[in-house]
Chain A
Amino acid sequence: MARLVVLGGGVAGHTAATFAADWLGKDHEVVVVTPNSKWNWIPSNIWVGVGEMSKEEVTFDLAPVYEKAGITYKQAKAVSINPEGSAKKAKPFVTIEYTGQGKAGHSDEIEYDYLINATGPKLNFGATPGLGEGSNLGQHTVSVCTADHAEHASHELTKIMDKMRKGQRQKILIGTGHGMCTCQGAAFEYIFNVEHEIRKAGLRDMADIQWISNESFMGDFGMGGLHMNVGGYVVSSRIFTESLFAERGVSYITGAHVNKVEKGKVHYELLDGSMGEESFDFSMLIPPFAGVGLKAYNKAGDDITDTVFAPNGFMKVDADYSPKAYEDWKASDWPRTYQNPTYKNMFAAGIAFAPPHIISKPAKSVNGTVINPTPPRTGMPSGIIGKAVAHSICDLIKKGPDAHLHEASMAEMGAACVASAGKGWLDGQAAAMTVYPVVPDYDKYPGTGRDTDYTFGEIGLAGHWIKHILHYLFIYKAKLKPFWKVIPE
């Protein structure tokens, strides 16, 4: 009997664990180590953040689902990995610290035959003074990264809307809280949902709404922008995005590294080296992401974290990490199997794997401050990678160490993104976009790096219907209801 341990029960980890349990059956064991008792459909946190959904509607209890799937569930966070075992233990193991199940604070060592690291991001609020401490949100801004954060954001939004009703003009600032953030899409959705709610309440004239982002141009999205097929034209995402902002009267600051947050004020540096300040009454700033800070030790107990993880804390996989100039970046630099190069029974999936480099064009301010988005690893790629990695491990277990590993390169994979711009079955809107591939491949598609037959975008009510249906569909799938396996990632 082999044991697969999956660290993290988010999009990638949950997908990997549930498929692996299904494919392996009762002959082998799948263990999930994840600190939360609930699964969260993160994209719908946007709607929690504007009071259009409750926390309960975007989360559900993991324990009954794992019980049904025959998965051993440890409500705990992984602290370190011993991929060679230790002086006392022959087998590799993970040290975990319980966060629930009546054992909070207790440590344990879980041996494994195969390991998937799908621990997602550390929300690194602490990287920007005033934005927060470590992974904890500070008191000056709000966040929609977790369901709890989003609920808090909604309460704060209600407060400023009450002030607007009393005739007090309010300034809203939404975007990224550091020069090296990713996940601009989430902030983009939030700003338009906030604008939609304020407009619906008849208060639009009482709000100044402003976007602040580390992207060097509007519509970069951490992917260097994209060219899409819109209405028969091949259009840059910059034109598409600027149009959405102009239509809604939302002004924007781009190329900004937010370097300090105070009560009611952010300080930032721009790519041209100038410094600026922006005041706010309500602000949602996405924090930068880092790895969750897992440590690694060899058999002798020496710290080998640098061997297993990249400096940003994400796990090294089969990518080409050799430093290269932007001009020399290739689609083939991106990983295919997500297997750790040193320890072949260890894989990473979703945000937890270390990308070889960013996707956007690197940029520094004239003062030398790095201001460029880091690569997004959104839901669809995270799910697809989780499933591919689970498939590889199941084959290794069932067919032996020579089994063919399954591949899921982000340079050969598309992503469907539906960015909500306001909720409502009759008056909602969303930008429905697909990008193929996520990482541009200029050898294959010399013009734009992507296939414009499959890279398109349009905004409308249909996009909202799709986004809303996806909410129910993915929660249904994650609960392992009948036919869950036929719903694509």
Chain B
Amino acid sequence: MAVKPEEFNFAKNDQFKTAMIPGKFARAMRTCKIWQFVRFVIINLKMLVVVSKSH
């Protein structure tokens, strides 16, 4: 059976063995335009709060 892309790096290096590597769904969501638009609005709002707390 072919190795899943997210599992490929685990075998490469001991450092990677204990890391969290995103699977297919998490990777897809990172570039999903609709979901990322929602995140864009939320991150901006969160950043504005931090900016306003800092001035």
The answer to whether B19 and A416 have CB atoms under 8 Å apart is no
Q: Are B9 and A247 touching (Cβ within 8 A)?
A: yes
Which residues of B line the A interface, CB within 8 A?
6, 9-10, 12-13, 15-16, 18-22, 29-33, 36-37, 39-40, 43-44, 46-55
Stretch of A21-29, A156-164, A452-460 contacting B (4+ beta carbons < 8 Å) = A452-460
Chain A 445-479, CB-CB to B under 8 Å as 1, else 0, gives: 00000000010101111110110000000000000
| A246 part of interface (Cβ distance < 8 Å) | yes
Q: Give, as a whole number of angstroms, the nearest-CB distance from A110 to chain B.
A: 31
Q: Is the CB of B31 within 8 A of A460?
A: yes
Q: Which segment of A63-71, A313-321, A426-434 sits at the interface?
A: A426-434
Residues of the A chain whose Cβ atoms lie less than 8 Å from the Cβ of B22: 243, 247
Contacts of A426 in B (CB 8 A): 31, 33
Q: Is the CB of B19 within 8 A of A414?
A: no
18 sampled A-B residue pairs with Cβ under 8 A = A246-B10, A246-B15, A249-B9, A251-B13, A251-B15, A251-B16, A380-B54, A384-B54, A429-B31, A432-B47, A436-B54, A456-B46, A460-B36, A463-B43, A465-B40, A488-B52, A488-B55, A489-B55
B52 to chain A, nearest CB (A): 8
Are B20 and A429 neighbours in the complex by a CB distance under 8 Å? no
Nearest 3 interchain pairs by C-beta: A246-B19, A462-B40, A246-B16
Contact A416 B51 (CB under 8 A): yes
A458 touches B54 (CB 8 A): no
Partner of B20 from the list A239, A415, A458, A462 (CB cut-off 8 Å) is A239
**Chain A residues touching B, range:** 20 to 34
Chain A residues with CB below 8 A from B31, complex form: 426-427, 429, 460-461
Q: Is B21 a contact of A247 with CB atoms below 8 Å?
A: yes
Contacts of A458 in B (CB 8 A): 39, 43
The residues of A with any CB-CB pair to B shorter than 8 Å are: 239, 242-243, 245-247, 249, 251-252, 380, 384, 412-416, 426-427, 429, 432, 434, 436, 454, 456, 458-463, 465-466, 488-489
CB-contact partner of A243 in B20, B51, B54, under 8 A: B20
A309 CB to closest chain B CB (Å) equals 27
Cβ-defined contact, A461 with B30, below 8 A? yes
Question: Is A384 a contact partner of B55 (Cβ separation < 8 A)?
Answer: yes
Are the CB atoms of A416 and B40 closer together than 8 Å?
A: no
Q: How far is the CA of A375 from the CA of B42 in the complex (A)?
A: 29
